[in-house]
Structure 1
Amino acid sequence: MASPLNCRMRFSMPLKHFLVLHLLVLCKKIIAEDVPNDFRGNEREALLALVAGFNNPFFHSNWTSIMCYKNDPPYWFGIECSDGRVTGVKLENMGLIGEIKIDSLFNLTELSFLSLKGNTISGQMLDFSNNQKLTEINLSYNKFDGSIPLSLLSLNSLVSLQLQNNNLSGSIPLFNQTSLRQFNVSYNNLSGAIPNTAVLQSFNKYSYIGNPKLCGPPSNSECNSKNDTYDNTNGGDNKSKVPFSSPIWIVVNIVALVVILFLFIIYFKKYKMLKKRLEEKHILYGDKFEEKNDHKINIENRGKRVAEAAAEGEERGKLVFINNQERQFELDDLLKASAEGLGKGNFGNCYKAMLESGPIVVVKRLRDLKPLSSEEFMKQVRVIAEQKHPNLLSLLGYYYSKDEKLLLYKFASNGNVYNRLHEGKGKPTRIPFRWSSRLSVARGVGRALEHLHLNAKSPNLVPHGNLKLSNVLLDENNNVLVTDYGLTSIVSSPLASQRTISYRAPEYQNNKKVSKKSDIWSYGCLLLELVTGRVSADSAPPGTNAVDLCSWVHRAVREEWTAEIFDVEIAVQRSANHGMLKLLQVAMRCCERLPENRPEISEVLREVESIVATADSEDDEEFSSIDQSLTEEYMSTPSRNSTIGESQ
């Protein structure tokens, strides 16, 4: 039989295209035997109907050919498969705009997971009557309107329903499925009384906040009128209502308007007096903007919570420095410092504070925390502060009050690795991110992760939990510093499962478990992003064009176009070919779908440390791709092949 290289010379088309074509023909024949045509065709039509209203060119180029084959990784982006059937749809934070037909899901009868969160999808919600196997639905952070569909009540296996931050109206249906563990309809336009079912009453007020017309427990608003109770019945006539056009209503409205105007005048006068007093104490309130060289620096609500506490007579918190470090500044110095927004993270916003006399520090303003007391918060923070390693960004101090929690870190002047890898690509002003620098990042992150794993307080604890390139920083000497570690211990668990990387590992999707092996999976995704130069869908910012790197790389190896995996910035460095291939092998082992098949971090680090860093040379750029013989040598090793077999 002719080798793949001989086939490349014998056919005029490129080997990649030939193999893809051959694979598609073969798969089509096999699937025709294994999956009934009606199932396959109906599910394909349903998926295409689901995205038809978006008119997004991404689906035209990526949703082609077959979707699923047995238990192979799905062939379509954002799709999950089992036994050749579609079981999940995950199209999160893709900037999708448009409407979805209500009956788009009718033919996806095996669907158990649906997530369209973080887009701009409008229109009425879907009909779930034919999707009886659904366990998780996440349509949050969109623009769905209309009422919550009653078809959701028939889903007896429903575990999680996330509908927050939409434009839904009407009353809440009588959910009473005992399987329901997560429920959130906050920040909509819902009205009426919250139904008194055991399930709905088991969730706290944060599942319902942001709906001004919603009343009754567990919310803080009482239902004072019959109209509130009526809104929750979804039917019936209310003939006792007084017409809005009657004289009584006109008088009532005029009186109410006068009262509101009077109260507003009193409030405004008190506000001016309070603002003047606070400014005398150098406490800033509200959103401020400073003009510097025609550049606006946004200081978001700097000192707002402290001012509120002072206005209510509460005791101000205390700025605490870790490990009895010498106090270099006070809280007032920090509040008066000029600040610059560095970005919004999963656990809070970060600011660069430039003190008048003192160091430049980063202030992380925490949000969505567990309801911890002062002692519990300080205990958790000190556990984080005890982690000392050259590749971990050390915690300088913290501030705790009732309404404000801050963490203070040293400022890393060279930014984060995500920006270093992806920003400015293709522009003449970009400084290439060479192989030796990427390998240095892989080693630094691996060393930090090993330290966290070996010093974890519990064997099942996820020591980092949110490992991604944007949480890897470079200081003034380009030393690698990992940040955001340990924060999952103080963040609300439902929010951690939505926002952190470890919870996107395959084992959490299957059995809702995370462990140290979830960190290993995140580390593998980070390595794949370093060697491919592509943005990982699991850690991509909203609106970014990203791919499922694990599935994409496995498919590339399976279809024998491995040489095209690597980022062109390092692929031209011929002397680094061996190292890049070895790091790719390590990454693929870390990305095994089964946690037990992933190596421990110490074993992973030994392999990464053994990779020889070659000197970056401009002479390498005359070579346009990796030597095909090297690709075959490294990708056909027994250990590598067994790994791929297990992942399938």
Structure 2
Amino acid sequence: MAMAMPFHLLLLFSLLFVFYSHAYESPESDTLLKFKSSLQNADALQSWDNNPNPPCTGQTANWIGVLCNKGAIWGLKLENMGLSGTIDVDSLKALPDFTTISVMNNNFNGPIPQLNKLPELRSAYLSNNKFSGEIPSDAFDSLIQIKKLHLSQNQFTGPIPASLANLPKLTELKLDRNRFTGTIPDFKHPPHTLDLSNNQLEGPIPPSLSNIDKKMFEGNKAVCGGQLKACETPAASSSGSNTSTSTGSGSSSKKPPIWLIVIFVVVVVLIVVVIFAVMMMKGRREQEAASPSSVEAPPAKVRAKGYNKDEEQGSAGNSRNGKKAPEATVKLTFVRDDREKFDLPDLLKASAEVLGSGSFGSSFKAALSVGPVVVVKRYKQMNNAGKEEFLEHMRRIGRLTHANLLPLVAYYYRKEEKLLVSDFVKNGSLAVHLHGHKSLGQPALDWSTRLKIVKGVAKGLAYLHKELPSLIVPHGHLKSSNVLLNESFEPLLTDYGLIPIINQESAKKLMVAYKSPEYVQQGKISRKSDVWALGILILEILTGVFPANLKGKESDEQEDMANWVKTVVGDQETEVFDKEMGTIKDGDGALMQDLLKIGLSCCEEDVEKRLDFKDAAGRIEELKHKDGA
């Protein structure tokens, strides 16, 4: 016969159950459920209810839409979920590590959430909703940490809040496709990315934003200045109304005769033509003095900006008074002390060979009469930074030293174009060895060499990520044509660290980081954009196939490299590998498959699922042949 449990024991067990239930409840779970209670149409978040797991376990999110770091919630990514209702900012204040919120592509309406209550906020993405009304001028006063604010495609009205112009760390601001009115505020710290297009703004573009691409202001009714048309001055607009009242009520000023107007117009046109001709001649002389294009047929004497005019008119370099005029030199700025110095005229006099035309301009190989063979790259898109900022960035790049980086030797600054000088690498690029070796009569790269190249690339990238922590994407333009191979087939990375100085429009069209899924889908890049580029490069090295998604926009073939590999692989991983690698030794097949998996993990479309660079580099370094190499 079963014995009945005494009442006091039953009460004790009940209390213990309640105690342990409360002990294991997550405060963050309560916070998220409270946040959800303010939402409407939240079926997409139904899994939050009665979820026995904590929202975060280490870096892994157990709840949909939650971003985790070391077991704590640092952000919410609730995009494309059909959500509406109210964003309860007060509940999010209970999350101490909360810095990011994204509710893009939902149905939220009403006034903008009170983001000011989250002073540690770094990023807020509210685009493509139905938020409306005027934003208070002080709405962003306390958000001194915020870097990215996207409010595109809503229904905001009124002036752009003045507090936006004072944010010290703001790098991205998108206010396009709203109904903002009034003038554009003068930003104390202009963001790198700014879009004010398709609003109802008017007035001049402030000086702090004068270098922003004109497309970022298009679609407004009366914005002028900057790269748009010049603003009309008050004197010009009112001059017509002030000329007819000077002679009294009974008389009016006479209009000038038509023949006088014709003569005036003809004279003005002639003056413009003369000025234009003079400028063209001057520009041609400067181009002959400073442009590498004259390398192919160097003049007997290099004429540089500031060249002594008397020297041109004298004989054998003598001036009119018979004394030898000082020779003008256009100096290169060297960033390394271990190179023999030379100047631009030395380059122009050297025997030269055009190596080709890349994304940003032409490259020339110059064999100096004394010293090494160098490569001169000519850039015309490096106007994203002012002169001092450009010079400082070049000094920073010049200090980088690593066995897998091609070092910068020297540079030449001119507003219209820049020259970067580096050592010539005789063995050429990885792209040539992967895709052009047959036409050059060269053997294909074997598996051991390809693994060696991948490891070297990873080491070079690791160094850049360590030494350039402030850059959003330390390399930014990693592809097989920007990996050179030395005599022992060790890789040397080139064209690294250029994003801060390349024009944004050119960068978006040409640079590899801007081909990444996160930019295509969300219009932003990150440090993991380099990881994605590394993954694409690994797949290219293993398959021998050029990645179509790195071709220009004019290409018809745009299938993503990673998706193509996944389609081909199926259950037969060996089918995807380049047959030209030759015979694979025992055990190397498993290594190749491991590297393929690493490459695919680096190419994950979801940035949160993509490998961190440190993890990717570590897994690549662990790949060893049977002999330990």
TM-score (normalised: structure 2): 0.53
Q: Which residue of 1 aligns with 2:213?
A: 207
Give, in whole Å, the separation in 1 of the partners of 2:596 and 2:602: 10
Amino acid at match of 1:450: A
| Among candidates 603, 606, 622, match of residue 594 of structure 1 | 606
Q: 1:411 to 1:156 in 2, by over 3 A?
A: farther
Instruction: Tell me which amino acid in the other structure corresponds to 1:332.
Output: P
Q: 1:596: Cα distance to partner?
A: 3.9
Q: 1:133 to 1:365 in 2, by over 3 A?
A: farther
Q: What secondary structure does 1:407 align onto?
A: strand
CA distance in 1, matches of 2:421, 2:607: 34
Deviations 1:193-252 (A, max 9, x none): x9726999996365349xxxx9942347546799x99xxxxxxxxxxxxxxxxxx99997
The percentage of aligned residue pairs carrying the same residue is 31
1:337-368 superposed Cα distances (whole Å, 9 cap, x missing partner): 34433344445543322323332212233333
Task: Find 1:565's aligned residue among 571, 576, 588.
Answer: 576
CA contact (8 A) 1:184 1:208 kept: no
Question: Which of 356, 361, 366 is the aligned partner of 2:369?
Answer: 356
Q: Whose Rg is larger?
A: 2
Deviations 1:500-536 (A, max 9, x none): 3233333344555544322222111110111112222
CA 1:205/1:488 → structure 2, altered by over 3 Å: closer, same or farther?
closer
Partner of 2:592: 580
Kept in 2, the 8 Å contact 1:415–1:473? The answer is yes
CA distance in 1 between counterparts of 2:231 and 2:504 reads 30
Gaps of 5+ in 2: 1-78, 83-104, 107-127, 131-151, 157-172, 185-190, 216-221, 238-256, 310-327
Aligned counterparts, 1:127-276, within 5 A: 182=194, 196=202, 204=210, 207-208=213-214, 216-219=224-227, 221-222=229-230, 260=269, 264=273
Does residue 332 of structure 1 match 2:345?
A: yes
2:461 to 449, 462, 474: 449
Moved more, 352-361 or 436-445: 352-361
Q: Unaligned stretches of 5+ in structure 1?
A: 1-81, 86-108, 111-131, 135-152, 163-172, 186-193, 230-247, 292-298, 616-648
Q: Which residue of 1 aligns with 2:497?
A: 486
Indicate the larger mover: 395-404 or 537-546: 537-546
Answer whether contact 2:513 2:533 (CA < 8 A) is retained. Answer: yes
Alpha carbons of 1:500 and 1:560: their partners in 2 closer, same or farther (altered >3 Å)? same
Given the superposition, is the C-alpha separation of residues 419 and 308 from structure 1 closer, same or farther in structure 2, using an over 3 Å criterion? Answer: farther
What residue identity is the alignment partner of 1:590? C
Relative to structure 1, the CA distance from residue 584 to residue 332 in structure 2 (aligned partners, 3 Å threshold; closer, same or farther) is same
State the TM-score, normalized to the length of structure 1.
0.52
**1:378: which partner in 2?**
391
- 1:536 aligned partner: 547
CA contact (8 A) 2:329 2:344 kept: no
Using the alignment, how far apart are the partners of 1:334 and 1:289 within structure 2? 7
CA 1:200–1:176: 2 relative to 1, 3 Å: farther
CA contact 1:533–1:566 (8 Å) conserved in 2: yes
Alignment partners' CA distance in 2, 1:273 and 1:601: 50
**For 2:563 and 2:307, how far apart are their aligned partners in 1?**
50
In the alignment, the residues of structure 2 paired with residue 286 and residue 319 of structure 1 have an alpha-carbon distance, to the nearest angstrom, of 13
Q: 1:275 to 1:346 in 2, by over 3 A?
A: closer
CA pair 461-317 structure 1, distance change in 2 beyond 3 A? farther
Question: Quick one: structure 1 residues 611 and 319, their matched pair in 2 at CA, closer, same or farther if it must change by over 3 Å?
Answer: same
Partner of 1:502: 513
* 1:448 to partner: Cα distance: 0.7
Superposed CA offset, 1:90-110 (max 9, x none): xxxxxxxxxxxxxxxxxxx99
The one-character-per-residue Cα deviations of 1:600-647 (angstroms, maximum 9, x if unpaired) are 4444334334434599xxxxxxxxxxxxxxxxxxxxxxxxxxxxxxxx
Q: Distance in 1 between matches of 2:206 and 2:224?
A: 11
May I ask how many residue pairs the two structures share in their alignment?
Answer: 426
Contact 2:404 2:491 in 1 (8 A): yes
Quickly say closer, same or farther: Cα 1:253–1:397, change in 2 above 3 A.
Answer: same
Q: Which residue of 2 aligns with 1:605?
A: 617
d(CA) in 1 for partners of 2:420, 2:359: 14
One-letter code aligned to 2:574:
A
The RMSD of aligned alpha carbons is 5.5
Instruction: Tell me the distance in 2 between the aligned counterparts of 1:428 and 1:347.
Output: 25
Tell me what 1:518 maps to: 529
Higher helix share: 1
Partners in 2 of 1:384 and 1:438 — Cα distance? 27
Shift in Å at residue 267 of structure 1?
6.5
Aligned AA (2:202): N
Q: How does 1:390-469 map to 2 (within 5 A)?
A: 390-423=403-436, 429=441, 431-458=443-470, 461-469=472-480
2:535 and 2:598 in contact (8 A); partners too: yes
Deviation at 1:496, TM superposition (A): 3.6
| CA shift digits 1:267-325 (9 cap, x unpaired) | 7589769978x79xx8266965848xxxxxxx9xxx99x649999xxx98742222433
Contact 1:534-1:547 at 8 Å conserved across structures: no
3-state SS in 2 of match to 1:556: helix
Q: Distance in 1 between matches of 2:393 and 2:275?
A: 44
Is the CA contact (8 Å cut-off) linking 2:431 and 2:480 kept in structure 1?
A: yes
Equivalent-residue separation in structure 2 for 1:184 and 1:594 (angstroms)? 28
Deviation at 1:560, TM superposition (A): 2.8
Give 3-state SS (helix, strand or coil) of 1:361's partner.
strand
**How far apart, in 2, do the equivalents of 1:406 and 1:428 lie?**
29
